[in-house]
Chains A and B, each alone.
Chain A
Amino acid sequence: MGSTWAVDLANIGPVYPWVGAELIMVIVAIVAWILWHIVQIKEEENEYAEDIKKYGGKEGIKKALDEHPS
């Protein structure tokens, strides 16, 4: 894409920046996607472990059930 719209649109195809670098952009995005899952799963596991440690005793669970019964 040039720096002007004074063109015949029949001759214009892709209009995004970095035409030709699609493969690199896709690889970066796939890496980001996989990392997101790794971080999310770790955080979810840690959160549950912390909650059980702090409140997961019999009394803690009964209290939670009383506070949020349904």
Chain B
Amino acid sequence: MGNNLDALTTIFTEFYYWVTVVFMFLIHVGFCMYEVGVSRRRNHLHTLMKNTMLIPLVTITFYFFGWWLYWALPNGPFITGPLLFDAGAPNLPTSPTMAPNLQDHITGVFWAAFLLFSWTVASIVSGSLIERVKSGAFWIIAIMIGSVTWIIDAAWGWHPLGWMVKVLGYHDAYASGVIHAIGGGTALGVLIVLGPRLGRFTKDGRARVFVPHNPWLVTIGLFLIYTGFWGFYAACNVPIISPETIGGQITGGTWTATTIYLTPTTLGAITINFLMSLSGGLMVAYILSKGDPFWTYSGGLAGVITASAGNDLYHPIQAFFIGGLGIFIAYKLHYWVENKFKIDDAVGAVAVHGYCGFLGCVFAGFLLWGYPSSPYEGFATINPLGNTIGGVIMFFVLGFIPGWIAAKILDGLGLLRVPREVELMGLDFRTLHEEEEARQEVRDAEKAMV
């Protein structure tokens, strides 16, 4: 920090990311409440702990190797250049900048902001698998997506110098593809191997409805996810930077906020578009689902997710209609896939995150066709083909395929799914049984005192 203005800018940036991390924590609180609300009473604790424990596991592995991948792999490697050892070195767990260091205010909070994205992407998968996946298996899958596959996609398509940005003109400012499509794609890959919950489908193939045991917990959970999403949007930005620091084609001396690609935007722009896409999603989902709270709330989330790829640049009316169109398609596709392939996605995550995330990439490619993807010279402009290929990479190549392979391996080892008897008794059976015995013991003792 050479002078007071530099110091102020640095401390502001440090505080800015720190605030986003606190906000994003609410996403995880929301996911936990949502999943527990959807699960049946005999599976509450297992559902809660399965999601909670991804926090420490993804955190330590993201510290060990996930963060390094982001800085080392923007070129592929070997697509647009080599492995970036020099850029990766300060982000290794052995680096003095990855610890309390008075010369570095930013690495810690920037790492934490990305880590919270990692929790989110793992949490997206978590909800789909409830009531039958073994915790140990899920946590391995959570580490795979939270500390490996999503951060590879971020290096490729969510880094100012990522090869997908350079070659494809890929634009995904608020992570339709890099977080949501990969989360939904991974969930789908695992679900195919895992299979539906016992009793979910009748013998003639009709889906039975597993009613959420607590709709209030579900809706409050989704409200909290909305709240945390504000922090997520802010965390996707660089809060303040000068054209000189960017070092690209921007002329003049006007400082600005930017997207992760270092393309200019404002917090005002993304705030209005967040709300308009949320509104589009909520309104369409309400009509589609005939006022069903689960789908209406999910529709709001789906609206934001679909518009996120281009919410730095869309007109608010565009964001509104994109949000509505996203949930319309995802809702229809969800039930078609459920009935056709007997996929039991307990929380609709494949639809809300996966299909909407993919669609968000495609829509941005068309609406922002011809816009610059980067402030640097020589990058492809945003285009439909590049963004569609990007969406396929996120959903299928880095999402579905690794999810399916990981699930196959875990299934082959007998580690994926809880035994049939335990699923029927309930995954909390032992705890509930022990609690009941403890209560009975107290009751017996009290009766003996009469």
Interface residues of A (CB under 8 A from B): 9, 12-16, 19, 22-23, 26, 29-30, 33, 37, 40-41, 44-45, 47-48, 51-52, 55-56, 60-61, 64-65, 67-68, 70
Is A22 a contact partner of B94 (Cβ separation < 8 A)?
yes
Per a CB cutoff under 8 Å, which of B94, B100, B421 touches A56?
B421
Q: Are B213 and A37 in contact (CB under 8 A)?
A: no
CA distance in complex: A28, B57 (Å)? 15
Docked complex Cα distance between A19 and B40 (Å): 50
Cα A12 to Cα B1 in complex, Å, equals 13
Q: In the bound complex, what is the Cα–Cα distance between A30 and B140 (angstroms)?
A: 15
Residues 335 to 363 of chain B near chain A (Cβ within 8 Å):
none
Chain B residues lying within 8 Å of A70, measured Cβ to Cβ, are 40-42, 211, 213
Q: List the 3 closest pairs (A to B, CB-CB), nearest first.
A: A56-B421, A68-B42, A64-B425
CB-CB contacts below 8 Å: B391-442 with A: 415, 418-419, 421-422, 424-426, 428-430, 432-433, 436
With A33-B57, A70-B41, A70-B211 already in contact, 4 other A-B pairs whose C-beta atoms are closer than 8 Å: A15-B102, A55-B429, A64-B424, A64-B429
Chain B, residues 320-345, CB within 8 Å of chain A (1/0): the string is: 00000000000000000000000000
Q: Which secondary structure dominates where chain A touches chain B?
A: helix
Rounded to whole Å, the gap between the CB of A60 and the closest CB of chain B is 7
Determine the distance from Cα of A56 to Cα of B425 in the docked complex, in whole angstroms: 8
Q: CB within 8 Å of A: which of B285-334?
A: none
Tell me if B's interface is mostly helix, strand, loop or mixed.
helix
**Contact B422 A52, beta carbon cutoff 8 Å:** yes
Cβ of B96 within 8 Å of any chain A Cβ, yes or no, is yes
A13, B64: Cβ atoms closer than 8 Å = no
A15 proximity list for chain B (CB < 8 A) = 100-102
The reply to whether the CB of B254 lies closer than 8 angstroms to some CB of chain A is: no
CA distance A48 to B41 in the complex (A): 19
CA distance A2 to B136 in the complex (A): 44
Within 8 A of A (CB), among B40-57: 40-42, 57
Residues from chain A with Cβ under 8 Å of B136 in the complex: 37, 40-41, 44
- A-contacting residues of B (Cβ < 8 Å)? 40-42, 57, 60-61, 64, 93-96, 99-103, 134-136, 139-140, 211, 213, 415, 418-419, 421-422, 424-426, 428-430, 432-433, 436
User: How far apart sit A16 and B425, CA to CA, in the bound complex (Å)?
Assistant: 50
* Cβ-defined contact, A13 with B101, below 8 A: yes
Give the shortest distance, in Å, between B42 (CB) and chain A (any CB): 4
| Contact residues in A for B99 (Cβ distance below 8 Å) | 14, 16, 22
Please name all residues of chain B whose beta carbon is closer than 8 Å to the beta carbon of A44 when the two chains form the complex: 134-136
Residues of B within 8 A of A26 (CB): 64, 93-94
Q: Which residues of A contact B102 (CB under 8 A)?
A: 9, 12-13, 15
Expressed in whole angstroms, the Cα–Cα distance for A30 and B227 within the complex equals 34
Q: Which of A14, A48, A65 contacts B422 (CB 8 A)?
A: A48
Could you tell me if A29 and B64 are in contact, using CB atoms closer than 8 angstroms? yes
Closest residue on chain B to residue A57 by CB atoms: B421
Determine the chain A residues whose CB is within 8 A of the CB of B95 once the complex forms. 22
The distance in angstroms between the C-alpha atoms of A12 and B100, with both chains bound, is: 11
Partner of B421, one of A19, A37, A45, A52: A52
CB < 8 Å neighbour of A51 from B101, B103, B211, B425: B425
Per the bound structure, the CA–CA distance linking A28 and B139 in Å amounts to 21
Flag if A33 contacts B61 (CB, 8 Å): yes
Q: Which residue of B lies closest to A47 (CB)?
A: B430
23 contacts between A and B (CB under 8 A): A13-B101, A14-B99, A16-B100, A19-B96, A22-B93, A23-B94, A26-B93, A26-B94, A30-B64, A33-B57, A45-B415, A48-B418, A48-B422, A51-B422, A52-B422, A56-B419, A60-B425, A61-B424, A64-B424, A64-B429, A65-B424, A70-B40, A70-B213
